[in-house]
Chain A
Amino acid sequence: MSTILLIEQLLNGLQSGLMLFLMAAGLTLVFGVMGLINLAHGSLYMVGAFACAGVAAATGSFWLGLAASIAAAAAAGAIVEVAVIRRLYARDHLDQVLATFALILIFSEGTRWLYGSFPLYLNVPPSLSGSVTLPGGIQYSLFRLAIIGAGLAVAVGLFLLIGKTRIGVQVRAGEADREMIAALGVDIRRLYTLVFALGAALAGMAGALVGTIQSVQVGMGEPVLILAFVVIVIGGIGSIKGALVGALLVGLTDTMGRVLLPSLFDLFMETSAATSVGAALASMAIYILMALVLVVRPGGLFGARA
């Protein structure tokens, strides 16, 4: 394998990791701050993609679509938090899982009712289409580079928000001691809605960006949700830093596993068998990674509570 190909694959891993981070950040915040398992996070991702495809088709502008996806997912998140999730904070995790699973079904069938069962069209905007030549002669998709840029920008923004602002202080305090910050006069209900909507907006943005290069269809959120759970388990629940490191680890392991494992087996096996075994093992790679991390650090890499 040439160095150029290797670097290209590392970029691919970085890109898929950063998109996972957008999903995982919201999930880990909601879990960390409110102690809530939200299975419907994947539905918010789908809402973002559909809103983007719908608005882009109606107006012809991808950027309006992207703005709409963030707004629609944040709104959907806020509505769901006020109408349903708020009643679940005091319940145990099983109730939360059941209720948010019901939300997945409602979102899926609702989307099907609005948009029909056929996948939607959403494509890369002309200004970002095609590929660019990076230093070293690497041909790389401009849109994927933009995704990497957007992912990094959001990561920096989140760290500043959590680390440097008043809301960030409240969020961190809420994570550490819920009763205490309520006693100090912070409107905890408003804070929860805000955090939930923020997580939803990030998921919606990821849905729109990923939907652009993949397919916009009902049920697109659930496979990503599983990966996002793997990410927050690896990173440590509640930690934004953990979500970022976990997402990059998962993205890189998945991409490099898919590329390297079949060629590795090819060294001592017949090609057909090697690709088949290599592919099978590659699909397990991130779960093996998760298991290894849990053996060494049961609370995840940056887990606050072990």
Chain B
Amino acid sequence: MTGTKTGIHRETRMTKYLTTTALALSMLGGAAMAEPVKVGMITTLSGGGASLGIDTRDGFMLAVEEAGNPDLEVHIEDDQRKPEVAVQLSDEMIQSEDVDVLTGIVWSNLAMAVVPGAVRQGKFYLSTNAAPSQLAGKGCHENYFSVSYQNDNLHEAAGQYATDEGFGRMFIMAPNYPAGQDSLSGFKRFYEGEVANEVYTQLGQTDYAAEIAQIRDSGADALFFFLPGGMGISFMKQWAEAGIDMPVVGPAFSFSQDILPAIGEAAVGVKNTAQWSKDIDNEANAQFVEAFQAKYDRLPSLYAAQGYDTARLLLSAMDKADISDADAFREALRAAEFDSVRGDFAFGPNQHPVQDIYVREVISEEGQLTNKIVATAMEDRGDAYAEECSM
């Protein structure tokens, strides 16, 4: 396990460095009144899905550094995209490091392994990305906040967009795992046309020749697909090669800034749905996009924006309440009084966002591929599970 260990060591070293800096700063500030808040960030920093975790971390840490709040300590660890590692890390953070807040998990299956246990032990969990339906409905919890969305949201918006565009027959496709099944049912919830065919691919599949032949043969008006990460890169390249003239719609995950360069020109023109885009016109967003580029020398992705907002939410609560008073702190989180990079942002009754969801188009801008908002798919969208949550 040599390679992985060094990865963890690097993170631990970084944690130590940040902790020392925070401590040094707190001494400079004299007698700090508030109790420090310890945050444990568990995210994917190695292996196939690392680019998502790295963007989450970088967005989060950008907000932390900008705030310069000496009472905030962040411990960062790598879950290697493995549920068992994530559980082990959260146990360690809760029991020996005594963190107050956990955050950072990218994948829904890891979130399901960690979140219920953590919130039961009285810790807060702020989700930077994963928001499975199980935690939005019956399994909702007063200490669990999703700052990103509810998993179905972007798929629902794609369904709404397909309806608005008047696509009469859609070919829909997702990997065969819980988030993939949620994706297709989310899409169908708001799509009023006919489904020409629905196809489940294998999780981690990289060759889509068979599916592309089926799509060509189906005679559908348009294609909806959800294939996060490397799966989406492979699919889009092969799709472009096949030269099929059919509009493509999908959630933002396959057209996020972290993977657009790998897809290349093949992505141009694709419509994708997201609750954030770098061209949303507000002061917080303009400042975020500029600061992120200045610090990391690349454009921020959706995950970076979600990480950034999560940290800003936490900091806003820290200004208003002390972490030792959990009820007051929870109220401060619920109020969500921070300038979100998404503009309007509020929590619904199950502590998931109520927000606008946009349709973006992939464009080529100054030699770089990026997204531009072309329409608003849904306004003030909450989620389908809020009613089942009794909180």
| Chain A residues close to B by CB (< 8 Å) | 1-2, 5, 8-9, 12-13, 15-16, 102, 105-106, 108-110, 112, 117-121, 123-124, 129-131, 139, 141, 143-144, 210, 212-220, 223, 255, 258-259, 262, 271-272, 275-276, 278-280, 282-283
Q: How far is the CB of B2 from chain A (nearest CB, A)?
A: 6
The residues of B that contact A276 with a CB separation of less than 8 Å are: 176, 181, 200
User: Cα distance A259–B263 when bound, in Å?
Assistant: 25
The residues of B that contact A119 with a CB separation of less than 8 Å are: 51, 230, 233, 259, 262
The residues of B that contact A102 with a CB separation of less than 8 Å are: 1-3
Asked if B20 is at the interface (CB within 8 A of a chain A CB), the reply is no
A219 with B217: CB separation less than 8 A:
no
Secondary structure of the B side of the interface? Answer: helix
B210 with A279: CB separation less than 8 A:
no
The residues of B that contact A258 with a CB separation of less than 8 Å are: 201-202, 210-211
A279 with B202: CB separation less than 8 A:
yes
Minimal Cβ-Cβ distance residue in B for A104: B3
Q: Which residues of chain B in 105-163 are interfacial with respect to chain A, using CB atoms and an 8 Å cutoff?
A: none
Minimal Cβ-Cβ distance residue in B for A110: B3
Secondary structure of the A side of the interface? Answer: helix
The residues of A that contact B204 with a CB separation of less than 8 Å are: 223
Given known contacts A129-B241, A130-B241, A123 and B264 CB-to-CB distance under 8 angstroms: yes
Partner of B241, one of A105, A141, A255: A141
Asked if B320 is at the interface (CB within 8 A of a chain A CB), the reply is no
B47 with A219: CB separation less than 8 A:
yes
Q: Give the A-B contact count at a CB cut-off of 8 A.
A: 145
Partner of A282, one of B51, B202, B214: B202
Given known contacts A5-B214, A120-B262, A214 and B234 CB-to-CB distance under 8 angstroms: yes
B198 with A216: CB separation less than 8 A:
no
Known contacts A129-B241, A215-B262, A279-B199; 6 further A-B pairs (Cβ under 8 A): A109-B3, A109-B6, A218-B47, A271-B198, A278-B200, A279-B202
A275 with B198: CB separation less than 8 A:
yes
Q: Which of B199, B217, B237, B242 has the most CB of A within 10 A?
A: B237
User: Cα distance A141–B234 when bound, in Å?
Assistant: 15
Partner of B50, one of A117, A123, A213: A117
Q: Which of A2, A108, A110, A214 has the most CB of B within 10 A?
A: A214
Partner of A213, one of B1, B47, B199, B241: B241
B50 with A218: CB separation less than 8 A:
yes
